[in-house]
């Protein structure tokens, strides 16, 4: 575990040199928040109106948090990196080193994600306060709860994207699979809380990875309760263990098919 923490730390430290470049990448975050602000202001003709249990301010804060989780992850780049490692044979250099490729990728990616998370959270909170003028009701317990849930969501999401990237052992380009995954997260987990969907599909979304990686932390932020927190953490731990197992399984099966030409 110590070596992985070292990988995490060195990735975090090296990216501290590029804070400006990383921050520039968040322009699209500002654009999305601006679009959703306009959209929800239009849908909620009266700001005090409650739709499906959410006020307009709660809905905008919900989107701010889900977008923080998604933007800090930079999943498309990470998926492409895993895919390229397999396609180009780069993975062979990692296999001979005294660490596991899955854990190495996970901790290395979490290093950069941590920095991006801190930066985009500051930006999101500032934007939310400028646009809405207030925060949801927060306590020390709720802030800690949301943070724990965000960390677990990011780890689970990273593991899922790692497994999608590792499918490159079987097909050449996994980007299309990643596009669909990202859009499912966006539509079913980022834009709307599950209460906005028909009652019949709400349990499906609630017990799907989409809830664990996107909706759950945002829901805790806008409407915290101890019961929801415990329920969320249980769901996230189950998904963490399942995703860890699946990623290792795909890696172990796939790496046997690896054929690298020297040169």
Q: Using alpha carbons, list the distances in angstroms from residue 73 to 70, 79, 213, 228, 241.
A: 5, 11, 11, 24, 20
Contact 96, 212 (CB under 8 A): no
Q: From the list 10, 38, 90, 225, which residue makes contact with another protein (rule: CB under 8 A)?
A: 38
Q: From the list 42, 48, 98, 137, which residue makes contact with another protein (rule: CB under 8 A)?
A: 42
Q: From the list 39, 92, 132, 147, which residue makes contact with another protein (rule: CB under 8 A)?
A: 39
Q: Which residues have C-beta within 8 Å of that of residue 241, sequence separation ≥ 6?
A: none
Enclosing H/E stretch for 108: helix 101-132
Max Cα distance, the chain (Å): 67
Interface with another protein, residue 179, by CB under 8 A:
yes
The interface region with another protein, picked from 9-17, 39-47, 64-72, 246-254 by CB under 8 A, is: 39-47
**Closest of 72, 245, 70, 255 to residue 159, by C-alpha:** 245
183-222 residues in contact with another protein (CB under 8 A) are 183-184, 186-188, 191-192, 196-197
Can you read off the two tokens belonging to residue 223? 């409407």
Please state the closest distance from residue 19 (CB atom) to another protein, in A.
Answer: 15
* # residues near another protein by CB under 8 A: 29
Q: From the list 180, 226, 230, 234, which residue makes contact with another protein (rule: CB under 8 A)?
A: 180
Please state the closest distance from residue 216 (CB atom) to another protein, in A.
Answer: 19
Interface with another protein, residue 172, by CB under 8 A:
yes
Q: From the list 55, 94, 100, 175, which residue makes contact with another protein (rule: CB under 8 A)?
A: 175
Q: Please give the distance of CA 198 from its chain centroid, rounded to a whole number.
A: 25
Q: Using alpha carbons, list the distances in angstroms from residue 198 to 16, 193, 204, 218.
A: 44, 11, 11, 20
**Closest of 69, 226, 219 to residue 150, by C-alpha:** 69
Interface with another protein, residue 27, by CB under 8 A:
yes
Interface with another protein, residue 35, by CB under 8 A:
yes
Angle 120-124-126 (CA atoms, 0-180°, nearest 5)?
A: 120
Please state the closest distance from residue 149 (CB atom) to another protein, in A.
Answer: 24
Output phi, psi for 53, to 5 deg: 90, 5
Q: Which is nearer to another protein, 127 or 155 (CB)?
A: 127
Interface with another protein, residue 43, by CB under 8 A:
yes
Interface with another protein, residue 176, by CB under 8 A:
yes
Interface with another protein, residue 122, by CB under 8 A:
no
Q: Which is nearer to another protein, 138 or 171 (CB)?
A: 171
Can you read off the two tokens belonging to residue 216? 């759950």
The residues binding another protein (CB under 8 A) are 24, 27-28, 31-32, 35, 38-39, 41-43, 51, 171-173, 175-177, 179-180, 183-184, 186-188, 191-192, 196-197
């Amino acid at each position: 575990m110590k070596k992985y923490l070292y990988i995490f730390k060195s990735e975090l430290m090296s990216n501290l040199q590029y804070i400006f470049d990383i921050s520039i990448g968040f322009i699209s975050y500002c654009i999305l928040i601006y679009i959703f602000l306009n959209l929800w202001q239009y849908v909620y003709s009266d700001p005090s109106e409650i739709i499906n249990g959410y006020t307009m301010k709660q809905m905008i804060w919900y989107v701010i948090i889900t977008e923080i989780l998604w933007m800090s992850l930079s999943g498309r780049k990470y998926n492409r990196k895993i895919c390229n490692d397999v396609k180009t044979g780069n993975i062979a250099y990692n296999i001979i080193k005294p660490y596991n490729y899955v854990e190495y990728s996970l901790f290395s990616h979490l290093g950069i994600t941590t920095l991006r998370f801190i930066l985009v959270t500051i930006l999101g909170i500032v934007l939310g306060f400028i646009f809405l003028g207030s925060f949801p009701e927060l306590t020390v317990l709720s802030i800690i709860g949301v943070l724990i849930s965000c960390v677990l969501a990011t780890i689970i999401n990273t593991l899922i994207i790692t497994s999608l990237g590792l499918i490159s052992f079987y097909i050449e380009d996994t980007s299309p699979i990643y596009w669909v995954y990202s859009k499912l997260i966006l539509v079913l987990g980022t834009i709307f809380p599950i209460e906005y969907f028909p009652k019949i599909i709400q349990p499906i979304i609630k017990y799907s990875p989409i809830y664990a990686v996107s909706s759950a932390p945002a829901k805790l932020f806008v409407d915290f309760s101890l019961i929801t927190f415990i329920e969320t953490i249980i769901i996230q731990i189950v998904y963490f263990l399942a995703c860890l197992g699946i990623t290792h399984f795909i890696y172990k099966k796939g790496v046997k098919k690896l054929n690298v030409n020297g040169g």
